[in-house]
Amino acid sequence: MSQPTPSLAVELAGLALRNPVMPASGTFGYGQEFAPYLDLEKIGAVMTKGISLRPKAGNPTPRIAETSSGMLNAIGLQNVGIDAFIRDKVPYLQTLNTPVIVNFFGNQLHEYIEVAEKLSDIEAVDAVELNISCPNVKQGGIVFGTEPCAAAEVVSGVREKLNKPLIVKLTPNVTDITVMARAVEESGADVISCVNTLTGMAVDIEKQCLHLANGTGGLSGPAIKPVALRMVYQVVRAVSVPVIGIGGIMTAKDALEFLLVGATAVQVGTANLVNPGAMSEIVDGIEQFCRDKGIDDINQWIGSLQE
């Protein structure tokens, strides 16, 4: 006897998703790269690589290193810049029958705001994700993502200029992530996504040198999952806006863990690099799990942790 198909649909601040699985920024190109391997209409949303006001060169190579159950990247947010993005990437994104979320960042407050204004005008963009994990070079290395006041300033500045759902992405490189979560919620974030990569390092004992040209890089993959899960758990309890869980999700089981602690949706990052079909397998796995457990709506599972 076949069971009815469970509903995997979730909602993020008015944005309806057919299921809670979407890519993490920077691991999915601008979407089109993955079309040969993955039905983009099978996932909850498409998320693009981080965009800035001007094109950004990124860091010198080597930019990646493999570590135990993870990888370090020091890509340095290389991207084509907002104008080329609108000209070259948006036409393809427009054709998709899947919500499009654009991740963006700036070096200074006015850059964030200018990009937000430009994104407001693009109909094909359904929501934006604000990455506040990059150093504010001008103000002497303050990081928007680690100073609650700086974070609040940039979030409210962007919120004012933006007519779409605003997701704010937090860095795990802080002492207490709930402080940052509350600061961005109060200043206008509609959704919080967490976490970005953890700062790490790798060295080569043969050549006695650093593996990455940049010295340090961002750690992602299965190695960070327990840390990310803990932070998502804490943030879900600290705020009332929906939370997107990110960090080391490789399988449906990993995704279900984040949903169980209260994430409304999840982002899959490094897994896409390892297996471009990963998200499709995760969606299938979640659906199968729901069938097996007799769950007919994924929202019954979200946040159902017994404590």
Ligand X SMILES: Cc1cc2nc3c(=O)[nH]c(=O)nc-3n(C[C@H](O)[C@H](O)[C@H](O)COP(=O)(O)O)c2cc1C
Could you tell me the two tokens for 188?
């206008």
CB of 141 to ligand X, least distance (A): 19
Give 84 or 179: the residue with its C-beta nearer to another protein.
84
Closest by CA position to 95, among listed 35, 37, 36: 35
Residue 169 lies near ligand X (rule: CB under 6 A): yes
Return the residue of 59, 98, 107, 131 that touches ligand X, per CB under 6 A: 131
Give 6 or 221: the residue with its C-beta nearer to ligand X.
221
Interatomic CA distance for residues 16 and 8, integer angstroms: 11
Residue 221 lies near ligand X (rule: CB under 6 A): yes
Residue 195 is assigned to a ligand binding site: yes
Residue 95 is assigned to a ligand binding site: no
Residue 269 is assigned to a ligand binding site: yes
Interatomic CA distance for residues 58 and 174, integer angstroms: 24
Identify any residues that bridge with 193 across adjacent strands, giving them in sequence order.
169, 244
Residue 33 lies near another protein (rule: CB under 8 A): yes
For the annotated catalytic residues, the residue numbers are 134
Distances in whole angstroms, Cα of residue 105 to Cα of each of 43, 86, 114, 235: 24, 16, 10, 22
Which residues between 225 and 264 bind another protein (CB under 8 A)? 250
Residue 196 is assigned to a ligand binding site: yes
Residue 19 is assigned to a ligand binding site: no
Q: Tell me the CB-side half-sphere exposure of residue 213, using CA atoms within 13 A.
A: 10
Interatomic CA distance for residues 206 and 241, integer angstroms: 49
Identify the sign of the CA torsion 187, 190, 191, 196. negative
Residue 48 is assigned to a ligand binding site: no
CB of 38 to ligand X, least distance (A): 16
Q: Are 18 and 44 in contact (CB under 8 A)?
A: yes
Residue 205 lies near another protein (rule: CB under 8 A): no
CB of 36 to another protein, least distance (A): 5
Q: What is the DSSP string of 1-53?
A: -PPPPPB--EEETTEEESSSEEEPTTSSTTSGGGTTTS-TTSSS-EEPPPB-S
Label residue 306 exposed, middle or buried (CB < 10 Å: 0-12, 13-18, 19+).
Answer: exposed
Label residue 137 exposed, middle or buried (CB < 10 Å: 0-12, 13-18, 19+).
Answer: exposed
187 binds, among ligand X, another protein, none (CB under 5 to 8 A by kind): none
Interatomic CA distance for residues 88 and 100, integer angstroms: 15
Give 279 or 295: the residue with its C-beta nearer to ligand X.
279
Return the residue of 12, 74, 75, 212 that touches ligand X, per CB under 6 A: 75
**Residues found near another protein in the complex (CB under 8 A):** 26-29, 33-34, 36-37, 55-58, 61-66, 68-71, 73, 75, 78, 221-222, 250, 270, 272-277
**Residues found near ligand X in the complex (CB under 6 A):** 24-27, 49-50, 73, 75, 77, 103, 131, 169, 196-197, 220-221, 224, 246-249, 268-270
Binding residues: 25, 49-50, 73-77, 103, 131, 169, 195-197, 221, 247-248, 269-270
Binding residues for substrate: 49, 73-77, 131, 196-197
Binding residues for FMN: 25, 49-50, 103, 131, 169, 195, 221, 247-248, 269-270
